[in-house]
């Protein structure tokens, strides 16, 4: 046989090279990278767009990932979430992309994304239908996995709605393992994201099944949600590692519900927790600030570090947390996290971290790039809701590196006027090796304010770990509006043998309080000046369920349900500034039905005088009414106490009266009830007759009047509501609400409206989950409700209102309303 092309000698040489390569030990051969060896990075459309997903959106997002530099920073997955398919499978049983949304099909989108050097993700559900009611994959695992593989999909987010589950961990393992096996059978590498909301503690079983697993419920674009998720995910460090990651959900950075400081905390803590970095904002319209936060390569390097260790919690108390994460090059990443509402000095001794002993340490701030040195304590003044992250390594010669100087401050409430003002305390602490000299501190207050220091805000010399403490008297002009005002604290000093000048600054936010305006209002609509609680946060318009935000039920005392109130535990105190302008507080008090305990004693203080007290109230006892005379009081205090702190203690429907108003004046904010079910079902029907469901009046649950509505829900869910007899004008209203109590299997709650003569369907997409036998108010802001392109949600022309319920059990609802 003639050898064509290369000489025989060259061919023999090549074969020898191939044979020698094959003969190498397996470890010496270049193996393909393992899936999700570092936490996945990319984009998902849900947080910003909900069901409004399309081929155009995905392609344009891929373009921006490339043009913005985010692809080069490590973001590679472009993930499609729910609502991408038709409502029914095709004749062959396969999932069918919606041709209106994806005219080129998913395979065409995959080709486009791959050509950009990116990867494509898709969404599925381990139930009969997705959370938005599209076909689920339960019982179709192999067919769907092969379909996605054939299309070129690289990533699967696998949700948990309509799951037919008995609630056992064994069922969760079975359903999610079925898809794992189906993906393996395709032969295609597909990163597998388990999205069962942490329900079955997947961190204890999902390693080897999924590459990442959700540890919490859905994130929302607000500080309370972010703080709660950090608290839930941070302790799970032992369960994470290369190829198996704790997933605290997609990022909200850039969506507008939080401050830049909070968004920096978002990325900082996700990176420290080795979390997947999945962008959830419209990158096509992202601001330079948003792109700068998302593209912080120093933080991304910490998240993507090949060692693959989630940062461990070193200390956690009083809202301050320190995380320590080892890095592959021997550095440590140290995060100082402040979840409180004011500037705080967060510190950790180097000996409590994994740093090896040294005479000094170099700190590199991953946000500013500044380099400083410390002797034995890492410390910083961290703004409210902020996080400082350092890369830290031992330092042999600290003489040429500036010392770390922590500037802190404390400030109580500020009241305008000659008899008010406030007290500011500042601290300057030298943490570096060697003394600093000519130390002075200045407080830059808003125009018109004055800050008078005592003692002198100067010190000639400040040794290592020494502190300069200064107290300032603040005077604030009368008439200053209530609000938040920044005060910059700047320390100036000289350091090193050459006496180099340097400054360090922190910012504290002064809270100016003024008395409430005239009127009768629900106390839960007024923010307390201070709030202390024995267990978790004080909850607004719900009970205190436990340690996390928004984990309670509707306030329920001896079977009576309240829409408004404050959920506390015994061992709590709330303070409100009244300024001598309020006359009365009326409230019911009692121990919540959700958790037996007590007894609890409730006391209302007008300044330091007890204006009303309940005496001991036992669990199961009917609520006790309290009326407190607050005439002339500057401060209102609510105290719940008992011999056993932690009893769930409710202030139910507290109404504060201020100014000269009649007793029968309306209570603010006013609600406009749309459906109350007092005379029957109010004509409720189902939007999709083929999907099933029934309604009937019921006295078993009511938050207004004596009756509610019992809804028998289909497993996959349906919309319940009706067309209104005449258009309703909801101009001036900002949100829609309804109250519900779930049965044995829990439910998703959602709200939609139809508007205009065409009865256009507009929907929010929040899909609020309520656990079995739990209750809550489902809320949808009008600015969260999306209409089809070209349609404006005209609040003056509401034609129909619908609520979505699912999971195949009975759900009780009442009082569908606008506020």
Distance CA 568, CA 114 (A): 53
Q: Which residues pair with 391 in a beta bridge?
A: 333, 364
Tokens of 461: 């010399």
Find out whether 733 and 818 touch, Cβ atoms under 8 Å.
Answer: yes
DSSP type of residue 607: T
- Specify burial of residue 277 (Cβ count, 10 A radius: 0-12, 13-18, 19+): buried
Nearest to 383 by CA among 474, 264, 522, 476: 264
DSSP type of residue 307: T
- Specify burial of residue 240 (Cβ count, 10 A radius: 0-12, 13-18, 19+): buried
In this structure, the number of other CB atoms found within 10 A of the CB of residue 596 comes to 12
- Specify burial of residue 369 (Cβ count, 10 A radius: 0-12, 13-18, 19+): exposed
Find out whether 175 and 139 touch, Cβ atoms under 8 Å.
Answer: no
Distance CA 797, CA 818 (A): 14
The helix/strand/coil state of 416 is: coil
Q: What is the CA radius of gyration of the chain?
A: 30
Distance CA 342, CA 229 (A): 20
CA 411, 413, 418, 419: dihedral to nearest 10 degrees? -110
Distance CA 737, CA 803 (A): 10
Instruction: Tell me if the bond preceding 599 is cis, omega within 30° of 0.
Output: yes
Cα(first)–Cα(last) distance of the chain, in Å?
Answer: 88
Neighbouring C-alpha atoms within 13 Å toward the C-beta of 599: 11
Supply the residues annotated as catalytic. Answer: 159, 218
Distance CA 695, CA 123 (A): 32
- Specify burial of residue 187 (Cβ count, 10 A radius: 0-12, 13-18, 19+): exposed
- Specify burial of residue 616 (Cβ count, 10 A radius: 0-12, 13-18, 19+): middle
Q: Do the strands 572-577 and 565-569 form a parallel or antiparallel pair, or are they unpaired?
A: unpaired
Tokens of 702: 């009511």
Angle in degrees, CA 114, 116, 119, rounded to 5: 40
Distance CA 133, CA 584 (A): 49
In this structure, the number of other CB atoms found within 10 A of the CB of residue 213 comes to 29
DSSP 344-371: EEEEEEGGGSSPPP-S-EEEEETTT--E
Nearest to 750 by CA among 795, 813, 810: 813
Distance CA 628, CA 633 (A): 11
Find out whether 276 and 316 touch, Cβ atoms under 8 Å.
Answer: no
The helix/strand/coil state of 599 is: coil
Question: What are phi and psi for residue 223, nearest 5 degrees?
Answer: -65, -40
Q: What beta strand segments (E) does 659-786 contain? A: 667-668, 672-675, 685-686, 694-698, 708-712, 718-728, 735-742, 747-755, 760-763, 768-770, 775-781
In this structure, the number of other CB atoms found within 10 A of the CB of residue 643 comes to 11
- Alpha carbon of 623 to those of 522, 700, 740, 796: distances in Å? 18, 19, 22, 40
Distance CA 699, CA 809 (A): 18
């Amino acid at each position: 046989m003639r050898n064509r092309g290369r000489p025989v000698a060259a061919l023999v040489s090549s074969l020898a090279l191939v044979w020698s390569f094959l003969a190498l030990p397996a470890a010496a051969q270049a193996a393909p990278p393992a899936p999700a060896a570092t936490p996945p990075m990319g984009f998902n459309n849900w947080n910003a767009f909900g069901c409004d997903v399309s081929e155009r959106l995905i392609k344009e997002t891929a373009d921006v990932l490339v043009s913005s530099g985010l692809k080069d920073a490590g973001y590679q997955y472009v993930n499609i979430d729910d609502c991408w398919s038709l409502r029914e499978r095709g004749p062959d049983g396969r999932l069918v992309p919606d041709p209106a949304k994806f005219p080129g099909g998913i395979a065409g989108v995959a080709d486009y994304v791959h050509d950009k050097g990116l990867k494509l993700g898709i969404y599925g559900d381990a139930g009969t239908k997705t959370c938005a009611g599209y076909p689920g994959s339960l019982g179709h695992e192999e067919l769907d996995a092969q379909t996605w593989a054939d299309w070129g999909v690289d990533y699967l987010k696998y949700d948990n709605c309509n799951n037919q589950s008995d609630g056992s961990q064994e069922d969760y393992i079975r359903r999610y393992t079925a898809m794992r096996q189906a993906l393996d059978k395709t032969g295609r590498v597909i990163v597998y994201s388990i999205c069962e909301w942490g329900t079955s503690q997947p961190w204890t079983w999902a390693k080897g099944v999924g590459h990442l697993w959700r540890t919490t419920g859905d994130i929302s674009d607000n500080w309370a949600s972010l703080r709660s998720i950090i608290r839930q995910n941070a302790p799970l460090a032992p369960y994470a590692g290369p190829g198996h990651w704790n997933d605290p959900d997609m990022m909200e950075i850039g969506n507008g519900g939080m401050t830049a400081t909070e968004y920096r905390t978002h990325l900082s803590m996700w990176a420290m927790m080795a979390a997947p970095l999945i962008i959830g904002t419209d990158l096509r319209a992202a601001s330079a600030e948003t792109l700068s936060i998302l593209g912080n390569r120093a933080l991304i390097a910490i998240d993507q570090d090949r060692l693959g260790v989630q940062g461990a919690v070193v200390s956690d108390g009083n809202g301050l947390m320190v995380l320590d994460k080892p890095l592959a090059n021997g550095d440590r990443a140290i995060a100082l996290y402040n979840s409180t509402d004011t500037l705080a000095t967060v510190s950790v001794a180097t000996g409590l971290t994994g740093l090896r002993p040294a005479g000094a340490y170099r700190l590199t701030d991953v946000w500013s790039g500044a380099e400083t040195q410390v002797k034995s304590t890492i410390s910083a003044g961290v703004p409210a809701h902020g996080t400082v992250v350092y890369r830290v390594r031992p330092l042999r010669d600290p003489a040429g590196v500036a010392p770390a100087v922590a500037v802190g401050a404390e400030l109580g409430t500020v009241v305008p006027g000659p008899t008010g003002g406030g007290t500011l305390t500042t601290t300057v602490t030298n943490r570096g090796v060697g003394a600093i000299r000519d130390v002075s501190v200045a407080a830059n207050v808003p125009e018109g304010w004055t800050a008078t220091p005592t003692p002198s805000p100067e010190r000639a010399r400040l040794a290592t770990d020494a502190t300069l403490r200064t107290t300032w008297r603040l005077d604030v002009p009368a008439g200053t509006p209530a609000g938040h005002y920044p005060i910059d604290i700047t320390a100036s000093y000289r350091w090193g043998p050459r006496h180099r000048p340097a400054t360090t600054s922190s910012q504290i936010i002064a809270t100016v309080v003024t008395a409430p305006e005239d009127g009768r209002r629900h106390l839960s609509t007024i923010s307390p000046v201070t709030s202390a609680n024995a267990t978790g946060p004080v909850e607004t318009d719900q009970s205190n369920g436990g340690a996390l935000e928004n984990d309670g039920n509707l306030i329920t005392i001896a079977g009576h349900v309240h829409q408004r109130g404050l959920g506390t535990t015994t061992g709590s105190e709330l303070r409100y500034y009244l300024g001598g302008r309020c006359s009365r507080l009326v409230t019911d008090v009692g121990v919540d039905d959700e958790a037996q305990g007590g007894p609890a004693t409730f006391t209302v203080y007008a300044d330091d005088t007890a204006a009303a007290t309940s005496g001991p109230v036992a669990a199961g006892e009917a609520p006790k009414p309290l009326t407190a005379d607050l005439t002339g009081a500057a401060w209102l205090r609510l105290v719940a106490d008992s011999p056993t702190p932690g009893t769930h203690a409710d202030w139910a429907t507290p109404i504060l009266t201020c100014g000269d108003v009649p007793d029968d004046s309306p209570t603010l904010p006013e609600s406009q009830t749309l459906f109350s079910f007092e005379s029957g079902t109010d004509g409720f029907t189902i939007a999709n007759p083929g999907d099933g469901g029934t309604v009937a009046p019921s006295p078993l649950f009511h938050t207004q009047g004596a009756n509610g509505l019992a809804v028998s829900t289909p497993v996959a869910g349906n919309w319940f509501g009706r067309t209104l007899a005449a258009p309703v004008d909801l101009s001036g209203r900002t949100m829609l609400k309804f109250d519900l109590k779930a049965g044995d299997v829990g439910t998703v709650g959602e709200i939609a409206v139809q508007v205009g003569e065409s009865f256009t369907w507009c929907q929010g997409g929040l899909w609020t989950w309520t656990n079995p036998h739990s209750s809550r108010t489902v809320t949808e802001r009008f600015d969260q409700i999306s209409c089809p392109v070209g349609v404006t949600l005209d609040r003056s022309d509401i034609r129909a209102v619908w609520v979505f319920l699912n999971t195949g059990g009975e759900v009780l609802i009442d009082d569908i309303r606008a506020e």
